Amino acid sequence: MEERELKLKKIDDFRWEIPRDFQPGMRVPGLIFASEDFIGHIRKDKTFRQVANVACLPGIVRCSMAMPDIHWGYGFPIGGVAAFDPAAGGVISPGGVGYDINCGVRLVRTGLEEADLRGKVAGLIDALFRKVPCGVGSHGIIRLSRGEERKVLERGSGWAVRAGYGRDEDIEFTEEGGCLDGADPDSVSPRACERGLKQVGTLGSGNHFLEIQVVEEVLDSRAASVFGLAVGQVTVMIHCGSRGFGHQVCDDFLRKMGEAATKYGISLPDRQLACAPADSPEGRDYFGAMACAANYAWANRQVIMHWVREAFEEYLGASPRELGMDLVYDVAHNMAKFETHLVDGREVRLCVHRKGATRAFPPGHPEVPSRYGEVGQPVIIPGDMGRNSYLLAGTEQAMRETWGSTCHGAGRMMSRTAARRAMKGRHIEKELLQKRGIVVKARSWATLSEEAPMAYKDVNDVVEVVQRAGISRKVVKLRPLGVIKG
């Protein structure tokens, strides 16, 4: 076991290779983006073994990758990226997407300065807490009929905007226009549909959050100007996903994909990597259901943003238009998508899995909003509730090397159980207010203890790795003023 660990090969200061001979069955090498310090932790928690396991799956192209925020996940590591060629038997795997399908982040800019909120942050957080339902099993005020839910699954953000929860331009600044093609509600179980009827417009729990921030530093003035951001400006970040609907979709298909793997003679190094050929009936069914969950998540974040605009209006006495509350961008973290990439000089249709990883398309890419075309796709990287978050931009290097992908956040250093144990007897919200001036509100102490800053890697270090590796570039650094946790 120790001998295998020593085979991790350093390529440069921020790239580490797991050779193909690391374990039997590897079809391609593994590639981990990390600093020397992060590699020490990765060695310790054995997450690199999951990177190697993914490298054994049929049809994988080039390598199995992991970002610097890598930590242990179900099947694939969180922070994992892998692309599969359907024409070569390439697979699609629920474990490569995760339970929280299209967990993602939305960044809203405002015309407010930090000084405008002096003495008002606590009151504004209270207003948001009342407006946006959060916590385990939380239900919103929207009650969907079965027919209306089907529209959500097919149309995503477009459903929300047409229902009055936003503006047309919000769709322009959402990845995929807030709607992933190929959604098939008939592939979704009745149980998943039941769980989705009451949760549109809810934040959920765990690492999901709603945060009022301020631009602390501009690191790329040209890109920041294009994104409409400047030092001292107030922003709002929303982090959540597809709630119980997406969780149920994943749960339903893990069993089905286990049976499919046996049917198609796929040998798995870990049963959590259950999969099927992407172009098989089972693969198409999973993609259709996953796309429904992705669209549910986009509708969910769109509605939450509407509630946020309303809370600001009610508390500050000015309309969202007057407050300059515009969407910068919305990015997805947990997704499998069919994309065209260059492989050995030719264009190939690939099924790209990003689990705890963010799309980072470069300047000029046709899927980047035209307003951002000259600087590249916005990449939103949240930190923990006590430290910074970042807005980055995609690069050509990412397109060449990582299928246009980068990290998605800070990445856990401690399990939730270990964090609760370490935080026992401490008052996290008081500490953050007294030491860092951050107002925190949550449904439970357990959530705060699990999400304490010390449970995470320092996002500043994570972002430094992807910047130095060239797979995304820093644009602005954000600092939290107030945070809501479920």
Residue 429: the pLDDT is: 86
Establish if 200 belongs to a structural domain.
yes
Euclidean distance between CA atoms 360 and 378, whole angstroms: 7
SS3 145: coil
The confidence score (pLDDT) of residue 441 equals 93
CATH of residue 208's domain is: 3.90.1860.10
Show the domain range for 120: 104-147+154-189+196-243+296-330+366-485
CB 350 within 8 A of CB 83: yes
Tokens of 34: 């990390």
Q: What is the pLDDT of residues 403-433, one digit of tens each?
A: 999 999 999 989 889 999 998 888 888 889 8
Read off the DSSP letter of residue 6.
T
From residue 167, alpha-carbon distances to 236, 325, 326, 330 in Å are 17, 11, 9, 14
| 212 inside domain | yes
Residue 390 lies in a domain: yes
pLDDT for position 39: 92
Contacts of 18 (CB under 8 A, 6+ apart): 7, 8, 9, 26, 29, 30, 31, 32, 48, 51, 52, 55, 64
92 within some domain: no
Please give the pLDDT value at position 3.
Answer: 41
66 falls within a domain: no
Question: Given 208, 247, 306, 408, which residue is catalytic?
Answer: 408
Q: What pLDDT does 168 receive?
A: 96
The Cα 389–Cα 310 span in angstroms is 24
List per-block mean pLDDT (blocks of 10 residues) for the chain, which spans 486 residues: 62 97 96 94 90 98 98 96 98 98 98 98 97 87 96 98 97 98 98 97 93 98 98 98 98 97 97 98 98 98 98 98 98 98 97 98 97 98 95 98 97 90 87 90 87 92 98 98 92
Residues 6+ apart with CB under 8 A from 147: none
Element (H, E) at 481: strand 473-485
Instruction: Give CA angle at 436 (462, 203), nearest 5°.
Output: 65
Which among 55, 101, 56 has a CA at the least distance from the CA of 81?
55
- Evaluate whether residue 398 is within a structural domain: yes
Whether 408 is catalytic: yes
State both tokens at 374. Answer: 């000259």
Q: Which residues pair with 33 in a beta bridge?
A: 15
The pLDDT assigned to 392 comes to 98
Q: Is position 422 within any domain? A: yes
Q: How many CB atoms lie within 10 A of CB 314?
A: 12
pTM here?
0.96
- Domain total of the chain: 1
Residue 384 in any domain: the answer is: yes
